[in-house]
Amino acid sequence: MATTGTEQRDGAFTHKQVLTILTGLLLGMFLAALDQNIVATAIRRIGDDLNGLSVQAWVTTAFLITSTIATPLYGKLSDMYGRKPFFLLAISVFVGGSALCGLATNMYMLAAFRAFQGLGAGGLFSLALAIMADIVSPQERPRYMGYFMAVFATSSVLGPVVGGFLSGQSSILGITGWRWIFWVNVPIGLIALVVVNRVLKLPPRPGRAHGIDWEGALALVVGLVPLLIVAEQGRGWGWASGSAFACYVIGALGLIGFVLVERHMGEEALIPMRLFDNRVFSVGAAQSLVVGVGMFGGIASIPLYLQIVKGASPTKAGLLILPMVAGIMTASMVTGQLTSRTGKYKRYPVIGSAVMVAAMLLMFTIGADTPLWKTDIYMLLFGAGLGMNMQTVQLAMQNAVAPRDIGVATSSGTFFRQMGGTLGTAVFLSILFSSAPGHIANAYKSAGSTPAYRAAAAAHPDQLATLQHHSGSLNDTSFVNQIDKVLAHPFLVGFSKAMDTVFLVGAFVLVVSFVLSLMLKEIPLRRVSGIEAAQAEAAKAHHGERLESITEAAARSAPGGPRPPTEAEVDSAVRPSGS
């Protein structure tokens, strides 16, 4: 728990120390969060420049695969050997991968370098949150979690803006503009390395004999890689194609193998199965998965509405989601303050899930002609629901496990949220693009009989031909901004109706999150940090061993048979060493 000078406890960090350490942690998180949004905005320009637009999805998929698989590895290894070296390693790998991405000369090389970069990104989120759990008690942690949510939200706005600006420049200092998208990470990462190395001073973890669960890691790779690939590529392949079906089978077998291996490994497992016996952990993991589906599905869909239906550029669309960002930041900070003061937290995921369901149902009413101010209000509500959910569920999972499992608990929450995000993005976009052609065709059928549409079609036969050429295909929607508004309007109506379907499915998914939040058991928040709790646990075990050895010695030395240890001997056993 962070304390003031008058309340300072042995092993506790002061508020000033926590803020200093927080600077380095936030820089690390900012790297990963900003990078995801920048690359998503610029990937089309990158693909055009490297003559590989048709394989652009693999650039995203490669990063997603390695970052997702690396996340639980960082959590387990940091529990075993300490957080700082692995956080520094994650930053170093990410920076190195960023520098290499800026040197790529074709899309396959870029995909390989993005995979390497993902190995570092997998540790940036989870380890930053785990380190916070080490140095700040659960009671005080929500005060600081708002900073993490602020970084996440800010990157959602800055990413598209910076990505759009850099990729839009033909060259900067004689170098192609999009390459700076990756190289901008290098100075930020180097600053983060220096700051973390200088300010993060953690006591050594209690020594224990460990083994690394390489079998579990391999099984996880076999299980997740095919599923992540089909999630990204399935819409192009066809969800019932032979390639997709092979991925389903291999992935299912890999996940079954992972569970069997983890049960066999026991305490050495990558994700010990005993953690799922903890109701808070298991419910929190499920809720992280479901919230990830709704969150990333919504975040992926809303910018498409803004860009295609409202005609915003990627850069402008990034600015237009500011209401959602404001909702996330405000709700997370207010929730954090209230949780720190009252120690109560269950109510916030319940309220937050209900708010997200309501926001999704409101978005279901959005159409092509809905004014932006209404959309802004709905986005604000959706962001507020997210802000009340994400950090609180993570806090509940960290608080429910033993100090030695904080890294695994934190990385598991991040892992399941990433998996949910991947699933949500794939399913929601698949629903959108599979239903849109039908809705667009119906909209044109309805509009075709109106005098205004007939007049526009007669006045612009060339544009009508362009429209018919693009009908049934959503690979390029830029033509909508180049034709008469009356001719384009049915397209926008049909696309927005397809978006409505996505939002309705999202609302039903988030109802599951609401039910899970009701099942979340509220455990009183610990008032000591993870480090303090671990030290107390180690001291207790050490004192127990000393008392046992003294008892055995007393039994052996007693002339008339075994005797209990004296009061002085017991006092010696429980007194801290050196006192």
Q: Does domain 271-528 have CATH number 1.10.3720.10?
A: no
Distance of CA 376 to the CA centre of its chain: 23
Distance CA 480, CA 477 (A): 6
> CB neighbours (10 Å) of residue 408?
29
User: Structure tokens of 328?
Assistant: 């996330």
Q: Are 394 and 129 in contact (CB under 8 A)?
A: yes
Assess contact for 388 and 545: CB atoms under 8 A. Answer: no
Give the chain's count of helices (H) and strands (E). Answer: 20, 0
Helix, strand, or coil (residue 566)? coil
Whether 205 and 82 have beta carbons less than 8 Å apart is answered as: yes
Task: Name every residue whose Cβ is closer than 8 Å to that of residue 542 and which is 6 or more positions away in sequence.
Answer: none
Question: Cα–Cα–Cα angle for 385, 389, 391, nearest 5°?
Answer: 130
For residues 490 and 436, the answer to whether their CB atoms sit within 8 Å is no
Full DSSP string of 386-450: HHHHHHHHHHHHHHHS-GGGHHHHHHHHHHHHHHHHHHHHHHHHHHHHHHHHHHHHHHHHHHTTS
Q: Smallest Cα–Cα separation from 429: which of 302, 289, 248, 287?
A: 302
Q: Where are the domains of the chain?
A: 1-202, 271-528, 532-574
CATH class of 1-202: mainly alpha
Fold matches, 1-202 and 271-528: yes
pLDDT, tens digit only, all 579 positions of the chain:
454 444 445 556 777 878 888 888 888 888 877 777 777 767 767 777 777 655 666 787 788 888 888 888 888 888 888 888 999 999 999 999 999 998 888 888 988 999 899 999 888 888 888 888 888 888 888 878 778 877 877 777 777 777 777 777 777 887 787 888 888 888 888 888 888 888 877 766 655 556 677 888 888 888 888 887 887 777 777 777 888 888 889 989 988 988 898 888 877 778 888 888 888 989 999 998 888 887 776 667 787 788 788 887 767 777 788 888 888 888 888 888 888 888 888 999 999 999 999 999 999 898 888 898 899 999 999 989 988 888 888 888 888 888 778 888 888 888 888 888 878 877 887 788 778 888 888 888 888 778 887 887 777 777 777 776 666 556 666 667 777 788 778 888 888 888 888 888 889 989 999 999 999 888 888 777 767 666 666 666 655 555 556 555 555 555 555 555 555 554 554 454 444
End-to-end CA distance of the chain: 24
Give this prediction's pTM.
Answer: 0.79
Burial level of 577, CB count in 10 A (0-12/13-18/19+)?
exposed
